Amino acid sequence: MGLTIKQIRDNTTRARHLYQRARAQHFAVGAFNIDNQETLIAIAKAAQKLNSPVLVEVSQGEVEAMGLENVRDMVDNYKEEYGIEMYLNLDHSPSVEACKRAIDAGYEFIHIDISQANHDATEEEIIEKTREVVEYAKFTGALVESEPHYFGGSSNVHDEAIDYEEIKKTFSTPEGAAGFVAATGIDTFAAAIGNLHGKYPVPKELDLELLQRIRDAIPCGISLHGGSGTPLHFFEDAAKIGVTKININSDMRFVFRKTLEKVLAEHPNEYAVVKLMPEVYEAVQKVVEEKIAAFGSADRAVI
């Protein structure tokens, strides 16, 4: 249906208040990717059950599959139906133009990721395009997130081990983070401290000492991408240090597919797909609830 500019600005003001609460009360907000309606239902049910604020997010492929405006409408519909505090984030958007379209559509959170489309993009190019999005977002008040270099991995299930010596070469530094935040004016810095996109055969390890130094160096919010496959105690500590937002995708995709395979095998003669899905989104809901508990955001919603 589309939101009025007043509705959009009211929503982004509430989103900014959420960030302020997260910093002051030392909890992180879960940002959960969707690529279908069932996953959105799972997130909404978890948010309602635990009275937690949540971000729903879509990346470029998910936008292309479902539609930018369609996702906006779906999130608004479920937010109203379940009576929850829920916002919408454009995740890893590869271009300024795509970010502007999402800002116009009323997305409260925007992640501009130039290096996603071009791994060899220079920091100067990333800064220039990030600043353009930051300036454009001032009209609605949308919160803008970015990082100064390519962030590795992919939101899938991987068989290979994690090469931490290679990954450490792309770790954020306090000095680099401070310079990038000052140069761009972003609201959220996407930190790289051992977090990596995707689900791997071994648990991830976060450098919490580095995270603390980054937290001390910058005034804005901090996000952790690639949260799947991370032992929950790292999230608990990261939230206490001052991480504002944690992204989860592959853990949800994994349990979605495995549960769907199980349900299909158990009901080979059932062709009404709607009857097969409740067990699937209930399994995804459990994953979301587990993350919310670790992030410390349960009972933090303001409706």
Contacts of 249 (CB under 8 A, 6+ apart): 32, 33, 155, 197, 228
DSSP secondary structure string for all residues of 183-246: HH--SEEEE-SS--EEE-SS-----HHHHHHHHHH-SSEEEE---TT--HHHHHHHHHHT--EE
Q: Which residues of 242-281 are buried (b: 16+ CB within 10 A; e: fewer)?
A: bbbbbbbbbbbbbbbeebbeebeeeeeeeeeeeebbeebb
Do residues 73 and 1 lie in contact, with contact meaning Cβ atoms separated by under 8 Å? Answer: yes
Backbone angles phi, psi at 296, to 5 degrees: 80, 20
Amino acid sitting at position 2: G
Distances (CA, A) of 235 to 156, 185, 226: 20, 26, 12
* CA 220, chain centre distance (Å): 16
Catalytic residue among 91, 104, 207, 251: 91
| CB-CB contact of 254 with 160 (8 Å) | no
27: which 2 tokens? 């909890």
**DSSP letters for 69-102:** HHHHHHHHHHHHHHT--EEEEEEEE--HHHHHHH
Active site residue 91: yes
The residue behind tokens 């991370």 is: 230
End-to-end CA gap in the chain: 22
Token digits for 277?
């899905």
φ, ψ for residue 143, nearest 5 deg: -90, 130
Read off the tokens for 119. 């791994």
Residues with catalytic function:
91
